[in-house]
Amino acid sequence: MASRVVAFGAHAFDVEATAGGVLAKLRRRGSEITIVHMTLGERGYRAGGRTGAYAGQKKGEAERSASVLGATVRVLEYEDTHLPDDDEAKLAVCDLLRELRPDLVFTHWQGSWHKDHRAAHALVMDGCFFAALPGVQRARPAWAVSEVWFPENWEDPVDFRPQHYEDISDTYEQWLEAMDAYALARENLAAFPYRDFYTSLARVRGCQAGVRYAQAFMVAEPLRMRIYNQFAK
């Protein structure tokens, strides 16, 4: 049981599609859930030359989706396709982790063909490292995240091997509603059929786990997380 959970996605919709069922489940059990969109993904969904208008649309969709899941939402000020992988951005993640003090964090698996997803993984993992070090002097004291889970994402398939399955049968419909807050899922107009893929995947993972629907995750090395906790003491 995690009292506080923070889920980082490179783009608005990443978190909801890949881990929304589990986030809804955790919220029902009393966890405080924060979804952090590092970018709005404003260059996607055939945005063409209307990236500014689409960014506003995505922000509204992100807020509605978070409301369905019972989560709060943060949107960082980074530009889609230009998510940086540098110490300044990692320290910004560190500051956010020290502010929100999560026990459990979700972020992208490292094996992705999408540059923003690879950057998001590095930002969060190194942000956890910085956050746990008392010697990194920031506005708030050190905080060590206990666990990091990597959701299954069609864009992050390289060497992804499910290690942990979560039954989302009871929150399946709530998860669909959260995804459908986004036009790219609801209207099935994106180049990739996101909704079809993730709902089919949930059924496959459910079959493997012996339940109706499930979402699968990889888990950060326990030794690494124990060391982070030692740093923070």
What 3 state SS string does the chain have? Answer: CCCEEEEEEEECCHHHHHHHHHHHHHHHCCCEEEEEEEECCCCCCCCCCCHHHHHHHHHHHHHHHHHHHCCEEEECCCCCCCCCCCHHHHHHHHHHHHHHCCCEEECCCCCCCCHHHHHHHHHHHHHHHHHHCCCCCCCCCCCCCCEEEEECCCCCCCCCCCCEEEECHHHHHHHHHHHHCCHHHHCCCCCCCHHHHHHHHHHHHHHHHCCCCEEEEEECCHHHHHHHHHHHC
**Distance from the Cα of residue 28 to its chain's centroid:** 18
Give the separation between CA 205 and CA 188, rounded to whole angstroms: 22
Q: What is the domain partition of the chain in residue ranges?
A: 4-232
pLDDT of residue 47: 59
Neighbours of 187 (CB within 10 A): 11
pLDDT of residue 44: 76
pLDDT of residue 192: 86
- 9 pairs with which residues across the strands? 37
Mutual orientation of helices 172-180 and 14-28 as an angle, nearest 10°?
140
pLDDT of residue 232: 66
pLDDT of residue 233: 63
pLDDT of residue 51: 65
What's the maximum distance between 2 C-alpha atoms anywhere in the chain?
50
pLDDT of residue 227: 72
What residue ranges of the chain have pLDDT lower than 50? none
pLDDT of residue 46: 63
For the domain 4-232, what is the CATH code?
A: 3.40.50.10320
**pTM value?**
0.93
- The 10s digit of each residue's pLDDT in 139-165 is 999 999 999 999 999 999 999 999 999
The answer to whether 10 and 120 have CB atoms below 8 angstroms apart is yes
pLDDT of residue 99: 98
